[in-house]
Every structure is written in C-alpha cells, then in structure tokens.
Amino acid sequence: MSNINLATKRNLQNNPKIMSKSLVISMVALILLLCLYGALLLINKKISAQTSSTHDQYETEYNKFLASNASDVVDFKNRSVVAQKLISEDKAMSNMLDQIESSILPAVYLSSYEYDKDKKTILLSCVGDNFNTEARQILSFKESGYFAQVIPGQSRIDAQTNQLNFTINLKLK
Amino acid sequence: MKTKILLVPLIIALIIALSIWLVYPAYSNGNNGVKEKYEQLKKEQKNLSNIQNKSTNAQKLSSQLSALSDKNVLYGFIPKSAKEEEIVDNLNFLASSADLFIFNIDLNYSKQNTFLNNSNQSNQTSVSESLPIAKTFKAKIKVAGSYEAIKQFLGSVNKLNRYNDFTVLSIKGNANNQGEDANTSVNMLIADMEITFDILPQAKLSDQNVNDPIFSSDKLDTKIISKIKDARNTKVFQLDVGQKGKANPFLP
C-alpha cells in the first residue's frame, strides 16, 4: 500500500509559524494569568491590611463613643419616652369626681367612694329615698357616657333611717 | 515538532486548571478571597463611618442637652431616685394647704415594676431593651377633711410636676362623728389613698443601645418638656434640712 502525502508545499512551510504563534499567545496568556494571580494575592494582602486598620480605627472610635457624654443623651431619650407614655395615660382623679358630681341626683348622696385603678372601677355606696331614685341614678350614670359599664349592686332599706342604701359599680373606659 | 504541537493544548489546559484552582479562588472562595475581603473592607468602612456619624451627632446632642435650661423639668418629672423626703414634705404641704388632717403617710417600694416592663416590648422603635425601666414607689396616705378639701388635694397632687398616679382612693364618711353636729359630720370625710411615684435610674450607653435611633439625628427632641409643663404645673418644693446636730439624741 502506497502512502499519499496530501500536504502542499506551502502548508508545510507555514505550520511552524502558526505553531510558534499560538505557542507564544498561550505562553503570554499563562504569564498574564500568573501575573493576575500575583496581583490578586497582593490586592488581598493590601485589602487585609486596610480592613485591619479600618477595624482598629472603628474600635478606637467605638470606645471613644462609649466613653463620651452620649449616655446623658440616651438617658434623656429614655426618660422622654417613659414620660410620654405616663402623660398619655395620665388621668386626673378630680375629673372622675367631677363626673360623679355632675351625674349624682339631688335625692342621692354617697356614703363611700372606692376607686381601684387596677380593676378600673369605682364602687359607690349610695343613699337615696326609694327604688325609683336608685333607678334614675343608674340611668343618670349610664347617660353620662363617661363610664364603660354601670353595674347596680345590692340595695336594701335601712329600717332605722327608712332610707335606701344601694351600691353601684362603675367600670371605667 | 510533536512536543511543540502538544505544548499549546498543554498550556491551555494549564491555564484552565490554574484559573479554576488558583486564580478564581484567589478572587473569590467564599471566605478570604479578594472579593470577600473587599466586601469586608466596605463593611468595616461603613461601620466606621456610622460610628463617626453617631459620635458627631452625640456630641451635638450632648451640647444641646447641656444648653437646655428646662431639662430639669423632665428629670424632676421622673427622678433618678425616690427622694422620699420630697414626697413626705410635698404631701404634707399640699394636705395642709387644702385644710386636710393627715393621719399617716406610709412609704414603700412596690414589688412590681411599672407597666413599662411589658408594654416597652412593643415600643422597641424608641427604647432599647437594655435601658432601665421605671420603678414604682408607693405612698399610702390617710387624711380627714371636707369633700372640697379632699378634691382640692387630689387636684394639686395631680398637678405636681413630679409624676404620680392614684391607684387607690377610698372616701368614706367619718363614723366617729355621728353624734356631733350634723353638718360637720356629713362634711367630715376620711380618705385613704395610694399614690405611686415613678423612679427611672440613669441610663448608660452600652453595646446593646449603641444603635439607638436617637444618634441618627443631630437634633434633640424636647417636645416632652412643654407637654410636662402643660400637664403638671405645681412645683415640687425643695426641702431644706435647716439647723442640725444634737448632743443627746434622746432628749425631746
């Protein structure tokens, strides 16, 4: 079997050039890659140093900040927030008495007044002349709109004075 | 010639291998590559810039606070300590002014802290968890006098520029006066009151509250002072000890 050489004379002449050109390109690429790697290592080192220095600076500033007069500012703010909350929930006791005064009937008087903030109630022991007065008194408290609930309690006639003693529990809003 | 032919693909393979195993990990490996280090640097720079801003704002706020003439209105409204002597003196003064007779004043710290313990949790936008919470100091007082006097006393205590709150108020007719003059008896009432006074210990800047939103602004919010002035305008009297010292403390 005979061998046939299909390569032309020109190709044979050019191949070494192409070969050496691609070799050079690939070598340059390799060198560039190594340079890139080296640069990355250097940048990494530089960034690390910068990070460390920034962190140290941060620590110094942080400690300086903690040691500054900022505590007074935080205290003022905390006190303001607490005061704001207390003022918004502040209820004047005399206002509650005003409400009772404006709702009490002339024929009724109180024998005791018991306010409990936790239970949000005012327990009134009242003295009146009859059950109709008691009923009108309950209605009067209901109509005032100041109380969330008006709960009538026990009522009984005092045999000695012939007056009606009754209790009313007022639930505050 | 054969070596030359093999060299190019070998170098290409080497480039690929180096890129995958050496160069890219040097750029980013999820831990200490250039990319991560750069992000870390940015983070540190941001932290530094934040703390410098906070520090500058804190200085401005602090100087505004020092120059604030009415700041004692707030510190008097919720003081740092109980100042029991002030409570006794003021309650006595206000009761006397209203023509009330005081039977007793009983002072003690409440075991339970104020409402701020729980409600503070939902108000975290303004107060850090590490900040102190208000403590309650109770004063139980028993007085006798007319209805008008009791009402006047309640009103003036409520207007006191130190915060207080009536938790219990019981007013009853004086049973001991049944036999006396009818008008005096009806108008002579006995009132038992429980008044709470709040105390707020000094807050300190710590790691937990260093990010408090107050440092993001350089202007001090002082609106609360005018609100206190509007709501509470009776001044707390400052107590003076007067003459002191005695050779025999048992001598009357």
Q: Which residue of B has its CA nearest to A43?
A: B34
Which pTM value belongs to this model? 0.77
Q: Is residue A70 part of a domain?
A: yes
What is the pLDDT at residue B121? 40
Q: Would the CB atoms of B158 and A85 count as touching at under 8 Å?
A: no
CA distance B132 to B141: 28
Tell me which of A19 and A119 has the higher pLDDT.
A119
What does the angle CA B120 – CA B125 – CA B126 come to, to the nearest 5 degrees? 70
Both A57 and A99 in one domain: the answer is no
Both B92 and B37 in one domain: the answer is no
Both A138 and A69 in one domain: the answer is no
Q: Is residue A24 part of a domain?
A: yes
Q: Is residue B207 part of a domain?
A: no
As a whole number, mean pLDDT of residues A135-158 equals 93
What is the pLDDT at residue B125? 42
Residue A112, pLDDT above cutoff 50: yes
Q: How confident is the model at residue B231 (pLDDT cuts 50, 70, 90)?
A: confident
* Residue of B48, B64, B221 to mutate, interface with A, max A Cβ within 10 Å: B48
Both A136 and A111 in one domain: the answer is yes
Both A86 and A101 in one domain: the answer is no
Tell me which of B112 and A108 has the higher pLDDT.
A108
Q: Is residue B163 part of a domain?
A: yes
The whole-angstrom distance between A50's CA and the closest CA on chain B is: 7
Residue A3 CB coordination number (10 Å): 4
Both A97 and A85 in one domain: the answer is no
Both B86 and B198 in one domain: the answer is yes
As a whole number, mean pLDDT of residues B94-106 equals 92
Q: Is residue A64 part of a domain?
A: yes
- In chain A, what residues touch B77 (CB-CB under 8 Å)? 79, 83, 86
Both B188 and B138 in one domain: the answer is yes
Q: Is residue B53 part of a domain?
A: yes
Both A118 and A164 in one domain: the answer is yes
CA distance B43 to B30: 16
Residue B215, pLDDT above cutoff 70: yes
What is the pLDDT at residue A173? 86
**Which residue range forms the structural domain that includes residue A104?**
93-172
CA distance B54 to B51: 5
What is the pLDDT at residue B130? 74
Residue B249 CB coordination number (10 Å): 6
Tell me which of A16 and B153 has the higher pLDDT.
B153
Task: With beta carbons less than 8 A apart as the criterion, state whether B74 and B224 touch.
Answer: yes
Q: Name the residue among A61, A92, A112 with its Cβ closest to that of B171.
A: A112
Both B179 and B91 in one domain: the answer is yes
Both A46 and A103 in one domain: the answer is no
Q: Is residue A84 part of a domain?
A: yes
Question: Beta strand A147-158 with B101-109: parallel, antiparallel or unpaired?
Answer: unpaired
Q: Is residue A2 part of a domain?
A: no
Q: Would the CB atoms of B205 and A90 count as touching at under 8 Å?
A: no
Both A13 and A78 in one domain: the answer is yes
Q: Would the CB atoms of A54 and B41 count as touching at under 8 Å?
A: yes
Total number of domains constituting chain A:
2
Domain end (from A90, A108, A140): A90
Residue A11, pLDDT above cutoff 70: no
- ipTM for the predicted complex: 0.79
Both A80 and A106 in one domain: the answer is no
> What is the pLDDT of chain A when averaged over all its residues?
88
List, for residues A56-84, the tens digit of each pLDDT value.
999 999 999 988 888 899 999 999 999 99
**Which residue range forms the structural domain that includes residue B130?**
78-202+223-231
Lowest mean per-residue pLDDT among A14-23, A109-118, B229-238: A14-23
What is the pLDDT at residue A12? 47
Tell me which of B143 and A12 has the higher pLDDT.
B143
Tell me which of A129 and B118 has the higher pLDDT.
A129
Q: Is residue A140 part of a domain?
A: yes
Give me the CATH number covering residue A98.
Answer: 3.30.1360.100
Total number of domains constituting chain B:
3
Q: Is residue B134 part of a domain?
A: yes
Both B23 and B38 in one domain: the answer is no
Task: Indicate the angle between helix axes B2-18 and A9-66, nearest 10 degrees.
Answer: 20
Q: Is residue A111 part of a domain?
A: yes
What is the pLDDT at residue B123? 43
Both B49 and B103 in one domain: the answer is no
Q: Would the CB atoms of B205 and A74 count as touching at under 8 Å?
A: yes
- In chain B, what residues touch A81 (CB-CB under 8 Å)? 123, 126-127
Lowest mean per-residue pLDDT among A12-26, A148-162, B162-176: A12-26
Task: With beta carbons less than 8 A apart as the criterion, state whether B126 and B213 touch.
Answer: yes
- In chain A, what residues touch B166 (CB-CB under 8 Å)? 93, 115, 117
Lowest mean per-residue pLDDT among A40-49, B49-58, B181-190: B181-190
Residue A165, pLDDT above cutoff 70: yes
Q: Is residue B218 part of a domain?
A: no
Give percent of chain B with pLDDT exceeding 90: 51
As a whole number, mean pLDDT of residues A154-172 equals 92
Both B95 and B193 in one domain: the answer is yes
> What is the pLDDT of chain B when averaged over all its residues?
84
Q: Give the phi and the psi of residue A169 in degrees, each rounded to 5.
A: -100, 120
- In chain A, what residues touch B32 (CB-CB under 8 Å)? 44
Q: Is residue B251 part of a domain?
A: no
Q: Is residue B109 part of a domain?
A: yes
Q: Name the residue among A71, A79, A117 with its Cβ closest to that of B204.
A: A71
Lowest mean per-residue pLDDT among A70-79, B42-51, B166-175, B182-191: B182-191
Both B153 and B119 in one domain: the answer is yes
Q: Is residue A3 part of a domain?
A: no
Lowest mean per-residue pLDDT among B197-201, B215-219, B230-234: B230-234
Give percent of chain A with pLDDT exceeding 90: 70
Domain end (from A59, A90, A121): A90
Both B56 and B145 in one domain: the answer is no
Both B54 and B152 in one domain: the answer is no
Name the residue among A67, A153, A165, A60 with its Cα closest to residue A108.
A165
Domain end (from A90, A107, A122): A90
Both A24 and A77 in one domain: the answer is yes
Task: With beta carbons less than 8 A apart as the criterion, state whether B173 and B189 touch.
Answer: yes
List, for residues B75-87, the tens digit of each pLDDT value.
999 999 988 998 9
Task: With beta carbons less than 8 A apart as the criterion, state whether B134 and B199 touch.
Answer: yes
Both B38 and B110 in one domain: the answer is no
Q: Give the phi and the psi of residue B210 in degrees, each rounded to 5.
A: -65, -20
As a whole number, mean pLDDT of residues B224-237 equals 83
Q: Would the CB atoms of A33 and B18 count as touching at under 8 Å?
A: yes
Both A32 and A15 in one domain: the answer is yes
Give me the CATH number covering residue B114.
Answer: 3.30.70.60
Both B102 and B155 in one domain: the answer is yes
Name the residue among B136, B88, B133 with its Cα closest to residue B110.
B136
CA distance B134 to B132: 7
Residue A1, pLDDT above cutoff 60: no
List, for residues B103-135, the tens digit of each pLDDT value.
999 998 876 555 444 444 444 444 456 788 888
